[in-house]
Amino acid sequence: MIKVIKVKDYEEASDKAFEVMKPFLVPGKVLGLATGSTPLGLYARMVKDHEENGTSYKDICSFNLDEYAGLPIEHPESYYSFMHRNLFDKIDIREENAHVPSGLGEDLEGQAKKYDAMIDACPVDIQLLGIGSDGHIAFNEPGTPFDSGTHVTDLAESTIKDNCRFFDNDISKVPTQAVTQGIGTIMKAKNILLIATGANKAQAVKDMIEGPVDVACPASILQKHENVTVIVDEAAASLLK
């Protein structure tokens, strides 16, 4: 069941997302976190809440969705760096509790299996998601099996183009592979919160909510999850009936 919340713009979407997230910011909870432009407003609100209200992350654990393959973690665009810069370094989460999949090493598939085992041992209470303009969730591009676990994947051409803005607008600098939680991994989360803003997400949002459940739109599988909240701004909702 997808519960759709329509808001005006990005700022309102971030306010609403924080409202949904807030009850989970208590000891013992496991958060599923995401990167990209979409969650930045939510992370800023989480940091403010930590600073002003003393909300503590000492007993909260997190699992990120994905990481580029082959990019050193100290690279500013690695998702490890992104998470530290925008959230982890500004709250009191413990380094050992803040998990980001590793895109480095000899045996990425073996590491991916271990990542899934860690998530199985600490099930995610709320998974935050963005959506790609091609309907991807995490780096599960169109065609990814719905039962996939964490795995290594090639990025779709459209994703490489979308992300080139983070790599000096130079397509040749964008990694072409990533390690990503699978759709099966994501679907195990007890609650899912997806935020979509901007006109370039409108078709993907329509396909996710009103289209058939089909691997052509990976996010459409969320129709089968019990507890999904989708926050959309006017531009992203513009094609919805």
Give first-to-last CA distance, the chain, whole Å: 17
Could you tell me how many residues of this chain bind ligand PGA (CB under 6 A)? 6
- Nearer to ligand PGA by Cβ, of 36 and 101: the residue is 36
Q: Is 66 a catalytic residue?
A: yes
The single residue of 50, 66, 99, 116 carrying the catalytic annotation is 66
Considering only residues 24 to 63 of the shown chain, the ones binding ligand PGA according to CB under 6 A are 36-38
Distance between CA atoms of residues 125 and 138, nearest Å: 17
Q: What Å distances lie between residue 67 and 8, 58, 183, 220, 235, CA to CA? A: 31, 24, 15, 23, 28
Q: Tell me the closest approach of the beta carbon of residue 234 to ligand PGA, in angstroms.
A: 16
Q: Tell me the closest approach of the beta carbon of residue 187 to ligand PGA, in angstroms.
A: 16
Q: Is 134 a catalytic residue?
A: yes
Give the residue among 60, 66, 75, 2 at the shortest CA–CA distance from 36: 66
Considering only residues 90 to 149 of the shown chain, the ones binding ligand PGA according to CB under 6 A are 130-132
The single residue of 116, 134, 162, 207 carrying the catalytic annotation is 134
The single residue of 141, 162, 207, 233 carrying the catalytic annotation is 141
Considering only the C-alpha atoms of the chain, give the largest distance between any 2 of them, rounded to a whole number of Å.
48
Q: Is 141 a catalytic residue?
A: yes
- Nearer to ligand PGA by Cβ, of 149 and 198: the residue is 198
Of the CA atoms within 13 Å of residue 17, those in its CB half-sphere come to: 32
Cα 57 to the center of its chain, rounded Å? 19
- Nearer to ligand PGA by Cβ, of 112 and 236: the residue is 236
- Nearer to ligand PGA by Cβ, of 37 and 53: the residue is 37
Distance between CA atoms of residues 147 and 144, nearest Å: 9
Q: Tell me the closest approach of the beta carbon of residue 131 to ligand PGA, in angstroms.
A: 6
Q: Tell me the closest approach of the beta carbon of residue 166 to ligand PGA, in angstroms.
A: 8
- Nearer to ligand PGA by Cβ, of 161 and 224: the residue is 161
Of the CA atoms within 13 Å of residue 199, those in its CB half-sphere come to: 0
Q: Tell me the closest approach of the beta carbon of residue 132 to ligand PGA, in angstroms.
A: 4
- Phi-psi label, residue 53: left if phi above 0, alpha if psi -120 to 50, beta otherwise: alpha
The partner residues of 220 in beta bridges, in order of sequence, read none
Q: Active-site residue numbers?
A: 66, 134, 136, 141
Contacts to ligand PGA by CB under 6 A: 36-38, 130-132
